[in-house]
């Protein structure tokens, strides 16, 4: 599979969800799942980030629109992975992710 960098960011809302339950398992390169959140009243383009069954937070508002629109129509061409982990940082900056667009080999 061919993949290219799409974006990198921190996990918004990390301190409000299951981050504390999954933190010790998150290592650089750990695969994460993206899910569009159609019921989010605060952001119609909200994209949730999961590690297994643990909701970790969201892609920050303003960076999520393109991903959300593709997920809304059933296209998930993304691979999300942990890019950094810093237990000493502010809780909202402890974990970062990198998202790639994945396609077929030419």
pLDDT tens digits, residue range 9-39? Answer: 999 998 899 888 899 999 999 999 999 998 9
pLDDT tens digits, residue range 56-105? Answer: 999 999 999 999 999 999 999 999 999 999 989 988 889 999 999 998 76
Are 100 and 6 in contact by the 8 Å Cβ rule? The answer is yes
Give the single-character DSSP code of 27.
-
The Cβ-side half-sphere exposure at 70, using a 13 Å CA radius, reads 9
| Domains defined for the chain, CATH in brackets | 2-103 (3.30.70.2330)
Chain length of the chain: 106
3-state secondary structure of 56: strand
* Res 91: pLDDT: 81
* Res 104: pLDDT: 76
Quick one: what percent of the chain has pLDDT higher than 70?
98
**Arithmetic mean of pLDDT, 51-57:** 95
Tokens of 61: 């508002």
* Res 106: pLDDT: 56
pLDDT tier at 44 (50, 70, 90 boundaries)? Answer: very high
pTM equals: 0.90
Direct distance between the N- and C-terminal alpha carbons of the chain, in angstroms, rounded to an integer? 9
CA 85, 86, 92, 98 torsion-angle sign:
negative
């Amino acid at each position: 599979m061919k993949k290219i960098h799409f974006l990198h960011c921190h996990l918004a809302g990390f301190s409000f969800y299951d981050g504390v339950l999954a933190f010790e398992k998150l290592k650089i390169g750990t695969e994460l799942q993206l899910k569009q959140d159609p019921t989010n009243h605060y952001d119609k383009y909200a994209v949730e980030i999961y590690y297994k069954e643990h909701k970790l937070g969201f892609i920050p508002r303003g960076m999520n629109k393109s991903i959300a629109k593709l997920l809304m129509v059933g296209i998930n061409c993304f691979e999300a992975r942990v890019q950094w982990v810093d237990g000493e940082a502010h809780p909202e900056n402890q974990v970062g992710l990198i998202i790639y667009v994945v396609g077929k080999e030419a």
